[in-house]
Amino acid sequence: MNRRKFIQSTGSIALSSLVFPHLSFAEQDEWITAFNQNLKIKPWLIGWQGVNQEVLQTGKLEVEGKIPQDLNGYFYRNGPTQNEAYGKRYHHWFDGDGMVQKFHIANGSISHFGKIIDTYKYMVEKQQQKRLLQTFGTYLPRRISNADQLNVANISLLPLNERLFALWEGGSAYEINPKTLKTIGVKSWSSQTKGLPFGAHYRQDQDGSIWNIGYASLNDAIVLWHIDGHGRLKQFKIIPIKNVPMVHDFMITKKYLVLLLPPFRFNKTKFMNKHSFLDAHYFDENQSTIVWLIDKNTLNIQKTFELPAQFVFHFTNAYEQSSEVIFESMRYHDSGIFNVLSEIMRGKEKKFTGVYPYRVRLNLEKNTATEEKLSNVYNEFPSINTNEIGLTHTQVVSLQQRNDLFFNSVAISNYQTGKSQYFSYAEQLAEEHLLIKDSRGNNWIVGTTLDYMEKCTKVNIFNANLLNDGPVAVAKLPYILPLGLHGKFINT
């Protein structure tokens, strides 16, 4: 593929640069009505109600227990907000404008500051006080010139060389000030790559450099990125592929990038016929899931494997062992989870789609791929120590569903000792928890929960060795934060 032609034709397109006449929502937003009716009998829905304040801030939080003195740093989180604004409600959890949360932990205390990211989309809709631009799961016909006009920067965060970037996956990274959370603007890693899709789940290598991917659905391509530890572009490559699959996450090992291409593919014709980006995808259960091993030096596809049809949001890690590449994933049998996260936006209760931890072995000599199911409990949002990325990992933290109400538990599995622990929250919904180290090298688990009965968000800190004992500290916010997606912890 000709790089210059591709870049000129996309201008960052991963979703759309199409022109449709402007149409408005129906006068009566049935999604708001349905959600509010269901909220009366399902208090846990309050996490998807959304927050419209541009800034949320409080000083030292009320803390039950004791925050470890050696644990100091910034706990950043990102996720959708404004699920409901200007009299309209989005049709998918992933649609809301990005809001970054910053929890400052220092000397045994914790404070909070949150701010909506001033993306192009957020600012133009704020100015006109109406929903104007389509999102991942909500169709709105509107003229745009490039995908960064749709960029909500709402999935994850990349701290790099004392800078901070909010990540989406259909467009560029958005740089924000790590102290004030003020939006600096769209990040271009080079004039050559301006606007190319830069994904949400980068992987940091042992040398501090950053690997990432992006998928450009309308241009039939996947983009590979390699950024050095100072934020300079080392290399990139555009790989052509028809009916681009949704590739949300990937992995690295010492030698390879590992990409899983599910049979959840993009129908360009359907998208051009006035469907949302999500609705233009289809899952073909009769097609295999393809695994690419890509050489990190050349960015060429070195080997290809096949697995049964499946979908994966998040991988735990990958590593090399003898003649094998081994990786672990949180595996869905199909793409039904997307429907669940749509129905939740109108308060319709739908059975959660099963997601289980799996281990896959790719035999490089025999060219075979085998799967092993690791648990019969639903698991998602895996986290390992960041210094083990691409290497054999020792511990995995994940969320678990141990009742009928989404994820209410946090678990840790130690692969050295074989020991596994979990802790279940009462009347709380758990968000991603991270496995981190303090200044002395001790392991802790940090994560947020929504207490839907007390109507507040809480920050929970556990001793990673004593998870069963419950949190050593719980910090209570005086308000609810919208349920978010991913975060990072930066030690100070």
The confidence score (pLDDT) of residue 2 equals 55
Buried b (16+ CB within 10 A) or exposed e, 91-114: bbbbbbbbbbbbbbbeeeebbbbb
* Selection from 481, 492, 487, 491 nearest residue 82 by Cα: 481
In the predicted model, what is the mean pLDDT of residues 232-254? 97
Q: Distance of CA 10 to CAs 7, 16, 101, 140, 223, Å?
A: 5, 9, 32, 20, 12
Q: Is the pLDDT of residue 9 over 50?
A: yes
DSSP state of 322: T
The confidence score (pLDDT) of residue 30 equals 94
Is pLDDT larger for residue 46 or for residue 19? 46
CB atoms inside a 10 Å sphere around CB 192: 12
For 93-130, write each residue's pLDDT tens digit.
Answer: 999 999 999 999 999 999 999 999 999 999 999 999 99
Q: Is the pLDDT of residue 11 over 50?
A: no
Look at 16-20, 66-70, 398-402, 417-421 and tell me which has the smallest mean pLDDT.
16-20
Q: Which pair of tokens denotes residue 177?
A: 């000030």
The confidence score (pLDDT) of residue 414 equals 87
Is pLDDT larger for residue 226 or for residue 415? 226
The confidence score (pLDDT) of residue 349 equals 76
In the predicted model, what is the mean pLDDT of residues 10-25? 38
In the predicted model, what is the mean pLDDT of residues 257-280? 95
Distance of CA 301 to the CA centre of its chain: 25
For 144-171, write each residue's pLDDT tens digit.
Answer: 778 899 999 999 999 999 999 999 999 9
Q: Is the pLDDT of residue 408 over 90?
A: yes
Q: Is the pLDDT of residue 25 over 80?
A: no
Sort strands 368-373 and 163-167 into parallel, antiparallel or unpaired.
Answer: unpaired
In the predicted model, what is the mean pLDDT of residues 391-410? 93
In the predicted model, what is the mean pLDDT of residues 65-78? 97
In the predicted model, what is the mean pLDDT of residues 210-239? 96
For 320-344, write each residue's pLDDT tens digit.
Answer: 999 999 999 999 999 999 999 999 9
Contact between 60 and 109 (Cβ < 8 Å): yes
Torsion region of 100: left, alpha or beta (phi above 0 gives left; psi -120 to 50 gives alpha): beta
Burial of 269 (C-beta count, 10 Å sphere; 0-12/13-18/19+): exposed
Q: Distance of CA 475 to CAs 58, 447, 452, Å?
A: 12, 11, 15
CATH number given to 3-491: 2.130.10.10
Residue ranges per domain, the chain? 3-491
For the CA atoms of 259, 155, 481, 425, the dihedral, rounded to the nearest 10 degrees, stands at: 0
Quote the CA–CA distance of 456 and 289 in Å, as a whole number: 41
pTM confidence score: 0.94
DSSP state of 219: G
Q: Is the pLDDT of residue 16 over 90?
A: no
Q: Is the pLDDT of residue 23 over 70?
A: no
Q: Is the pLDDT of residue 26 over 50?
A: no
Q: Is the pLDDT of residue 319 over 60?
A: yes
Phi, psi torsion values for 376, nearest 5 degrees: -100, 10
